[in-house]
């Protein structure tokens, strides 16, 4: 199986960090309950700590929005086509792909059942139908070059259909719904045309 982003090791690391933080939080809670005097801080320190967290949150939101807007402005003009809970009736597609979204990545299956992790290859100008599902938590399947997003709920199935760009390259696919610690790494590539791994990104 092809791991386009090489994130399997990162996923294990993120899970380990999440478990460690959870254990640390439980330990801190018990310490605060049974030894409360150790946790008394000046009021100004508490206010400063909260202000720092809020500031970091707003900075992250501003930075991510600015970066995404700049990225969208560089994308080629593409007919977005559409999406929904059922595929369009009576329409023909050059390629049909089943997508399994999971924490934190995507598996793509072609019509023969061959799987690839975090990358799907299409040809320029092809009409592609994505059948998308998830079994763990809520995810979003966003294709910025098509300006389309599918919302995914556990056990449900959604569809997205696009026309691939005419320009060869690697185009971002990402999850847009927060789905846990590794959400920021939940990305994949729409690989258009015959390009080498690590080729031009768009």
pLDDT in tens, 113-168: 899 998 999 999 999 999 999 999 999 999 988 888 888 899 989 999 999 988 88
Q: Report the chain's mean pLDDT, rounded to a whole number.
A: 77
Alpha carbon distance 106, 86 (integer Å) = 20
Higher-confidence residue of 33 and 126: namely: 126
Banded model confidence at residue 1, pLDDT cuts 50, 70, 90: very low
How far apart CA 116 and CA 110 sit, in angstroms, is: 9
Number of neighbours of residue 50 by Cβ within 10 angstroms: 10
Q: Which pTM value belongs to this model? A: 0.63
User: Rounded to the nearest 5 degrees, what angle is found at the Cα of 50, between the Cα atoms of 45 and 56?
Assistant: 125
pLDDT the model gives residue 71: 60
Closest residue by Cα to residue 135 from 106, 172, 97, 115: 106
Q: What are phi and psi of 90, to 5 degrees?
A: 80, 5
For the segment 22-48, the average pLDDT, to the nearest whole number, is 65
Give one DSSP letter per residue of the chain, joined into a string: -EESS--HHHHHHHHHHHHHHHHHHHHHHHHHHH-GGGG---HHHHHHHHHHHHHHHHHHHHHHHHHHHHHHHTSPP----EEESSPPTT---SEEEEEEEETTEEEEE-TT--EEESEEEE-TT-EEEEEEEESSS-EEEEEGGGTEEEEE-TT-EEEEEEE--SS-EEEEEE--S--STTGGG-EEEEEESS--TT--B-
Q: Which residues contact 183 (CB under 8 A, 6 or more apart)?
A: 104, 175
Query: Contact at 8 Å (CB) between 105 and 118?
Result: yes
Q: Which domains does the chain have, with CATH numbers?
A: 1-40+75-202 (2.60.40.420)
**Residue of higher predicted confidence among 109 and 13:** 109
């Amino acid at each position: 199986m092809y791991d386009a982003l090489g994130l399997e090791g990162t996923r294990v690391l993120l899970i380990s960090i999440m478990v460690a933080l959870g254990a640390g939080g439980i330990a801190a809670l018990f310490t605060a309950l049974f030894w409360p005097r150790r946790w008394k801080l000046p009021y100004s320190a508490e206010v400063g700590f909260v202000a720092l967290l809020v500031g970091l949150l707003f900075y992250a939101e501003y930075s991510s929005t600015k970066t995404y807007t700049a990225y969208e402005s560089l994308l080629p003009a593409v007919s977005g086509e559409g999406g929904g809970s059922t595929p369009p009736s009576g329409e023909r597609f050059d390629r049909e792909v089943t997508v399994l979204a999971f924490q934190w990545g995507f598996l793509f299956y072609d019509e023969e059942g061959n799987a690839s992790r975090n990358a799907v290859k299409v040809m320029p100008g092809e009409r592609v139908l994505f059948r998308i599902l998830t079994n763990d938590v809520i995810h979003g399947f966003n294709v910025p070059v098509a300006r389309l997003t599918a919302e995914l709920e556990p056990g449900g199935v959604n569809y997205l259909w696009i026309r691939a760009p005419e320009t060869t390259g690697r185009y971002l696919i990402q999850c847009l719904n927060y789905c846990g610690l590794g959400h920021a790494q939940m990305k994949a590539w729409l690989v258009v045309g015959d390009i080498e791994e690590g080729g031009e990104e768009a």
